[in-house]
Structure 1
Amino acid sequence: MQKQDPQSKAALLERAPAYAQTVDLDVDVHLIDWEISERAKRYAGCCEYNHLTEQITITLAWAAYQEYGWAEFTGTIRHELVHAWEFQHFGDSTHGTRFLQKAREIDAPRYCRPFTEARLQLVCTNEDCGWHLDRHRASKSVTNPDDGYRCGRCKHRYEVQHVDSGACWRTNDEYERVRQWLGKDW
Structure 2
Amino acid sequence: MTDGERLTIDDEILARARIHARGVSREYDLEVDLGALEWSVSARAKRRAGACRWNTRREVATIVLTRRAYERYEWEEFAAVVRHELVHAWEFQQFGESGHGSRFREKAATLDAPRHCRSFAEPRYVLRCLETDCEWTATRHRASKPVTSPGRYWCGCCGGTYEVEHADSGRTWTTSSGYGGAKSALGEEW
Deviation track 1:29-64 (CA, whole Å, cap 9, x = no partner) reads: 221221212222221111111233322111111111
2:15 match: 14
1:94 maps onto 2:99 in alignment: yes
In the alignment, the residues of structure 1 paired with residue 23 and residue 35 of structure 2 have an alpha-carbon distance, to the nearest angstrom, of 12
CA distance in 2, matches of 1:30, 1:73: 22
- The equivalent position to 1:168 in structure 2, one of 166, 172, 181, is 172
Q: Report the 3-state secondary structure (helix = DSSP H, G, I; strand = E; otherwise coil) of the residue aligned with 1:22.
A: helix
- Deviation string for 1:77-126 (max 9, x for gaps)? 00000011000000111111111111111111112222111111111111
TM-score, L = length of structure 1: 0.91
Query: Given the alignment, which residue of 156, 160, 163 partners 2:160?
Result: 156
The SS at the match of 2:108 is: helix
Distance 1:110 1:7, change over 3 A: farther
**Equivalent residues in 2 for 1:1-186, closer than 5 Å:** 8-23=9-24, 24=28, 25-147=30-152, 149-186=153-190
Structure 1 residue ranges, 4+ long, deviating more than 2 angstroms after superposition: 50-55
Deviation at 1:130, TM superposition (A): 0.7
* d(CA) in 2 for partners of 1:182, 1:100: 43
Give ranges in structure 2 of 5+ residues lacking alignment. Answer: 1-6
Q: CA RMSD in A?
A: 1.6
Cα displacement string for residues 159-185 of structure 1 (whole angstroms, at most 9, x for unaligned residues): 110011110111111111111111121
* Aligned counterparts of 1:81 and 1:138: Cα–Cα separation in 2: 31
Quote how far apart the aligned CAs of 1:7 are: 7.3
3-state DSSP of counterpart to 2:135: coil
- Give secondary structure in 1 for the equivalent of 2:61: strand
CA distance in 1 between counterparts of 2:167 and 2:109 reads: 36
- Percent of paired sites with the same residue: 49
Cα distance in 2 between the residues matched to 1:58 and 1:38: 14
Q: Distance in 2 between matches of 1:107 and 1:8?
A: 26
Q: Tell me which residue corresponds to 1:3.
A: none
Letter in 2 for 1:29: L
Q: Distance in 1 between matches of 2:98 and 2:90?
A: 9
Aligned residues: 180
- TM-score, normalized by length of structure 2? 0.89
